[in-house]
Amino acid sequence: MLVGAFADAGADRDAISQALMSLATGGSVTWEQVQRRGMSATKFRVSVDEPQKHRHLSGILKMIQAAELPDAVKASSEKVFRVLAEAEATVHGVSIEKVHFHEVGAVDSICDIVGACLALHLLKADRLYCSPINVGSGTVNTEHGVLPVPAPATARLLVGRPIYARGPAMELTTPTGAAFVTALADDFGALPPMRIRAIGYGAGDRDFKEQANVVRVMVGEPSGAPESVTVSVIEANIDDSSPQVIGYATERLLEAGALDVAVFAAQMKKGRPGVMLQVIAAPEKREELMAVLFRETTTLGVRFHNAERRVQPREWIDITTKYGPVRIKAGSEGFSPEYEDARRIAAASAVPLKQVLAEAMFEYLKTK
């Protein structure tokens, strides 16, 4: 599906086909324009006449090195297979050298990975971003028997990446696809600011009733717009806790990775005064931070939703004041002295904090 999507977006199909033939896998490739739930998409097919055989990592790497591929494509293909081998080795409790690929060692999977790496190279893409990944649900039949979705190797590969399950109860992300994006994606999450110049759709084998079975690729250039990212907003209403507990919980949430924590006064039911504790976090930190909320406060329930957060590009600038060094966090539209730096100087020199902050801003403005 990835190879089909990249080709649909403009990667040279003939160049991909010829390069994959040089792998000497014994397979052949074809391209077909198909419909998936009324959407036109490119289907990339790999066909083999001989029985599939198991391969070790070393054998696959030799095939890649011997093929007629650009050095950059050989390097990215090897990186994907090494990431995959590490995941398989962890799942099976063996060394990388002893991992033997079965499903992934098949001709079609080798062509999928190398073809996707080559197509990305042909598109001249120097950065790759991936949305949260739909892994599917239910079970999948493997050489190790029936396993839950996501399969063990897929789950291992996607540790720390944002995932979800929606649509038909089947495997929607394979170890091959998971290895590709894990090895090569620069980031996961919301669409980065860009000017789109091409869009491509790659088709899967089946045509689902619930959704179009396609992968979409967008190719473009950075637009220079302020970056917009997805965040999770977690909230809890609390009316039976002391201010000390709320303050301590706020500190623990920030230490656990919350982007921001705010406490709002709230009038609760039965006329009781209380607070609303609001946490802003990266989506992948949501579960961990909800666990902190349950552990450190008296709340019995929290609510959460996703929101869009727009962040200006910023940089840290070191400023020397007569009281000591202070870092300035500067964006395109504003700046602010780092509080902890100013606080440390104020406490050590007995100079009022407001004076240290004013001096830092004055010195920074002199540099503009």
Alpha helix (H) residue ranges in the chain: 2-8, 13-21, 57-66, 71-92, 107-122, 152-157, 175-184, 243-255, 286-296, 339-349, 353-366
Number of other residues whose CB lies within 10 A of the CB of residue 245: 14
Among 10, 261, 283, 275, smallest CA distance to 121 is for 10
Q: What is the pLDDT of residue 52?
A: 64
279 and 214: one domain? no
**Tell me, what amino acid is at 319?**
I
Contact 277, 263 (CB under 8 A): yes
Decide the pairing of beta strands 39-48 and 139-142: unpaired
Res 98 pLDDT > 90 = no
Q: Assign residue 269 the CATH number of its domain.
A: 3.30.70.1380
Give the distance, in angstroms, between the CA of residue 67 and the centroid of all CA atoms in the same chain: 31
Number of other residues whose CB lies within 10 A of the CB of residue 77: 29
Tell me which of 205, 223, 241 is where a domain ends: 223
Res 323 pLDDT > 60 = yes
The two three-digit tokens of residue 151, written as one number: 């399969």
> Which residue is it, tokens 């004013």?
358
161 and 206: one domain? yes
Among 5, 233, 235, smallest CA distance to 115 is for 5
Q: What is the pLDDT of residue 309?
A: 81
- Say which residues have a Cβ less than 8 Å from residue 179's Cβ, sequence separation at least 6: 80, 81, 83, 84, 87, 104, 113, 157
- Using alpha carbons, list the distances in angstroms from residue 126 to 10, 104, 337: 16, 26, 34
- Say which residues have a Cβ less than 8 Å from residue 303's Cβ, sequence separation at least 6: 234, 235, 236
Task: Give the integer Cα–Cα distance in Å for 44 and 114.
Answer: 13
Q: What is the pLDDT of residue 203?
A: 97
Res 145 pLDDT > 70 = yes
Task: Indicate the average pLDDT of the chain.
Answer: 91
31 and 143: one domain? yes
Contact 227, 242 (CB under 8 A): no
What average pLDDT does this structure show over 179-192? 89
Under the banding of pLDDT at 50, 70 and 90, the label for residue 160 is confident
13 and 151: one domain? yes
262 and 329: one domain? no
Q: What is the pLDDT of residue 283?
A: 84
> Which residue is it, tokens 């040089």?
22
187 and 323: one domain? no
Q: How far apart are the first and last CA of the chain?
A: 50
Q: Residues 328, 313, 346, CA angle at the centre, nearest 5°?
A: 15
Q: What is the pLDDT of residue 173?
A: 95
217 and 82: one domain? yes
Contact 207, 37 (CB under 8 A): yes
Q: What is the pLDDT of residue 92?
A: 83
What average pLDDT does this structure show over 311-325? 87
277 and 342: one domain? no
18 and 57: one domain? yes
DSSP-based three-state secondary structure for 54: coil
What average pLDDT does this structure show over 235-260? 95
Contact 2, 116 (CB under 8 A): yes
148 and 41: one domain? yes
132 and 95: one domain? yes
What does the chain come to in residues?
Answer: 368
What's the pLDDT tens digit per position in 8-33?
A: 999 999 999 999 999 988 889 999 99
What's the pLDDT tens digit per position in 189-234?
A: 878 778 999 999 999 999 999 899 999 999 999 876 666 677 899 9
24 and 6: one domain? yes
What average pLDDT does this structure show over 33-39? 95
Under the banding of pLDDT at 50, 70 and 90, the label for residue 104 is low
**Tell me, what amino acid is at 74?**
K
Tell me which of 174, 189, 223 is where a domain ends: 223
Res 248 pLDDT > 60 = yes
The two three-digit tokens of residue 174, written as one number: 């394979």
Give me the number of domains the chain comprises. Answer: 3
Q: Which residues form the domain of 273?
A: 228-310
What average pLDDT does this structure show over 41-61? 85
Tell me which of 265, 288, 310 is where a domain ends: 310
Task: Give the integer Cα–Cα distance in Å for 345 and 326.
Answer: 9
**Threshold 0.75, pTM exceeds:** no
